[in-house]
Structure formats: C-alpha cells, structure tokens
Amino acid sequence: MASITFKHVEKTYPGNVTVVPDLNLEIQDKEFVILVGPSGCGKSTTLRMIAGLEDITSGELYIGDRVVNDVAPKDRDIAMVFQNYALYPHMTVYKNIAFGLNLKKLPKDEIDKRVHEAAKALDLEHLLNRKPKALSGGQRQRVALGRAMVRNPAVFLLDEPLSNLDAKLRTAMRSEISRLHKRLQTTFVYVTHDQTEAMTMGDRIVVMKDGIIQQNDTPQNLYDFPCNLFVAGFIGSPQMNFLDAVITEQGGTYCVQICGSTIPLSARMDKAALAPYAGKTVVLGIRPEDIDAAPAGAKGHLDAKIEIAELMGAEINLHLDCQGSKLVVRAASTFPGREGDMAALTLDTEKIHLFDKETERAIAH
C-alpha cells in the first residue's frame, strides 16, 4: 500500500520564505498523479518532501499508514528520477543501475538478474558497459528510470524528467513512462511545468500556484471545467481566450455582450450562479478550438481582423483583433483567410466559461 497523504503540510525556508503554506493532498495507491504549475509554484518542493530531501516545517506526511516526516530517504521505499538524470558519471550503466541493490547487499546473481531485466525492458542491454558520458540524453533518461525500477519501490517520483530532451524524444519517452506505470502498477508522482505532459500522462492533475493547490482533478475535467482563471489559462495550448463581457438577462434568458455583439448563453448553464452577475462585467473564457472562423461576409457572432496566421500543418492558428481584444482561433489549414483579412467568428456557446473578474473564480461553464 503506497498511498501518499499530505495533512496541513507547510514548508518554510530559512529567512521566513514560505514556499508551501498549507498543503492537503491525497494520492491513492497505484495512481499516476501529475503536479503541474509555473516555476516557483512549489511542485518540486512538494516532490522533494515526499522523497525526504526537504524537511517538513509543520504538518504530517504519510506514505501508506506511516508518518514519514522524520524517516530517512533511503527508508521511505521510494525512487526518484531527476531532471538532470543524476547518474554517477564514474560508473558504467550496469553499476549505476546496480548501485542501490549493492548497498542493500543483495546476492550478486539477484542483482544481475534485476539489472538485466530492467535493461531489457528499457532497451539498454547493449549499453550496460558504457559510462553515462557516452550515452545520448534519451539513453541517460532510460538508465535513470532503470536505476529506479530495479529497486521495486512503492512510490516513483519523477522531477521534470523529460525537460532536457528534444521534442521528438520527449514524445517517445512520455509513452514509455506511461507504459512503465501500467506495467509496474506503482504509485507515480510526476512533476512538470509542461501541460502537454500533464494532460497526456496522468490519472489526475494537481495544478499549483504559489504553493497552493488550485485544482485537483482528472485531465478532462481540468480542461472542461477549470475552477479559476489561472487553471483555465494554464491548461491548454494555445491558451484559452479571455474577453471582458457583460452579462444581460432578458425574460429568463442570459446573454453576454462582447465586442459590441450579444451572444446567448447555453440554457445548460446554472442560472442561479449567473443571476447575481446580471448587468455586471465578467471574464468570458473560450478555447481556440471552440471558435469557428469563416471568411469575411459569412454569418457569425463577431468580426475580427487576422493579424497573424500560424500554419501548424494540419491546422492554422489565427491571431485576431476584435475591436482591441486579442483572440486566438484554431482553424483547419484549408481556411482561406490570411494576414490582414477579416474573418467572421462563431463561438460555441456550449463551451463558454465565465469567471468572476475580481475573485477570478469560475461562475459557470
């Protein structure tokens, strides 16, 4: 059983710098949880607290049923993969992988068996006699994974393990780590600032900012129902469009006024939540793929001028100006409009998100 529980955990560094003020989080056994957030949000500190590499200022951290606040890293039954791999440069791949097992004084043939099994699973068998400097970035990362794997830990901790790899290798390693999780059936805690990694790999994503959990949910829920402006802006690429909008109500039907147009809101939206905001300015959020762009002259909610058209291959990202408001729309690459042209935009009203302008919390989706 390797669940992880944070109970009112605080981390304050000398000089009274509080990085994590009051963390409460539960990670289930065998779950793949992603900690995501911008630099300095406390995600790596949180991971390092699990590893025992950072002391906990107050609160309790459980691994399974055991409070591990004062348990040494080596006794926590965890393994960690670092951003810069942290391989031992003076040891061969074999010795790197076997190092932890040698310290445990396991029998030589058992060590040999485990090292070869891990090497086979990670396609490292032909590299066992090489030193880390003779390996590529992807190979080094696989050695780091192998070193963690052979110990059969209860918890795998991964601290931005793919950020030093090129885009192609990152994609390949992403699926490799996901496969590894399925095969090992162990708890994985993965830290990243890359929201693509977060969305594609985790069972659950914990979005953090300034040491505070903003939202803790499945990738799909996080994408579809962000709880505040920060999460809405952080998850998704290109990021969600935000426009100032005024909510109006006519005979029980709610609409939003943006850029001089009135757009009816979905009947599905929670009217009770909308009622207090009637006549007030809110922030309307809509993702680039939820706006349909048509050539000028077609019928739509808004008319906007194309400022930049970024061809991405299968699709095109249009950067538009709508009466001073900036918008990004994802259109099919066959879209005929180019820079300087006008476009008619139709918003998918089922996919509109509304946020309180002051508290930045979601009003309705």
Partner 1 sequence: MKTSSMGQSKKIVTIITYLALGLGAIIMVFPFLWMILTSSKTVTESMRIPPSIFPAQIMLDNFKDAIASLPFVNMYLNTALMIVFRVIFAVAFSSMAGYAFAKLHFRGKNILFGIVLMQMMLPSQIFIIPQYQMVAKLGMANTIFALVFPGLVSAFGTFFLRQAYMGIPNEIGEAAYLDGCNQWQSFYKVMFPLTSSSVAALTVFTAVFAYGDLMWPLVVNSDLKMMTLSSGLATLRGQFSTNFPVLMAGSLLAMLPMVILYLFFQRQFIEGVAMTGGK
Q: Taking the complex as a whole, how short is the minimal distance between the CB of residue 47 and partner 1, in angstroms?
A: 12
First to last CA, the chain: 37
Q: Taking the complex as a whole, how short is the minimal distance between the CB of residue 275 and partner 1, in angstroms?
A: 53
Q: Taking the complex as a whole, how short is the minimal distance between the CB of residue 123 and partner 1, in angstroms?
A: 22
Binding region for partner 1 (CB under 8 A) out of 3-11, 45-53, 233-241, 314-322: 45-53
Residue from 100, 137, 233, 238 binding partner 1 (CB under 8 A): 100
Q: Taking the complex as a whole, how short is the minimal distance between the CB of residue 188 and partner 1, in angstroms?
A: 15
**233: number of Cβ within 10 Å:** 15
Contact 80, 155 (CB under 8 A): no
107 binds partner 1 (CB under 8 A): no
Write out the binding residues for partner 1, residues 110-149 only, by CB under 8 A. 147
271: left (phi over 0), alpha (psi -120 to 50) or beta: alpha
Cβ contacts of 194 within 8 Å, gap of 6 or more: 36, 162, 163
- Nearest of 238, 253, 256, 240 to residue 302 by alpha carbon: 256
Q: Taking the complex as a whole, how short is the minimal distance between the CB of residue 49 and partner 1, in angstroms?
A: 13
- Nearest of 89, 70, 97 to residue 133 by alpha carbon: 89
Q: Taking the complex as a whole, how short is the minimal distance between the CB of residue 103 and partner 1, in angstroms?
A: 4
Q: Taking the complex as a whole, how short is the minimal distance between the CB of residue 158 and partner 1, in angstroms?
A: 13
Residue 346 identity (one-letter amino acid) = T
Residue (52 or 219) nearer to partner 1, CB: 52
The contact mask relative to partner 1 for 216-255 (x = CB under 8 A, - = no) is ----------------------------------------
83 binds partner 1 (CB under 8 A): yes
84 binds partner 1 (CB under 8 A): yes
- For residue 82, give Cα distances in angstroms to 61, 141, 195: 21, 9, 18
Binding region for partner 1 (CB under 8 A) out of 61-69, 70-78, 135-143, 217-225: 70-78
Residue from 103, 273, 278, 298 binding partner 1 (CB under 8 A): 103
Both tokens of 13, joined, read 């560094």
Cβ contacts of 180 within 8 Å, gap of 6 or more: 121, 145, 149
Residue from 15, 89, 107, 251 binding partner 1 (CB under 8 A): 89
User: What is the rounded distance in angstroms from the CA atom of residue 146 to the CA atom of residue 166?
Assistant: 20
Q: Taking the complex as a whole, how short is the minimal distance between the CB of residue 304 and partner 1, in angstroms?
A: 48
Contact 223, 199 (CB under 8 A): yes
- For residue 153, give Cα distances in angstroms to 2, 118, 126: 9, 13, 25
182 binds partner 1 (CB under 8 A): no
Contact 151, 89 (CB under 8 A): no
Residue (89 or 279) nearer to partner 1, CB: 89
Q: State the residues that interact with partner 1 by CB under 8 A.
A: 51-53, 72-74, 78-80, 82-84, 86-90, 99-100, 103-104, 147, 151
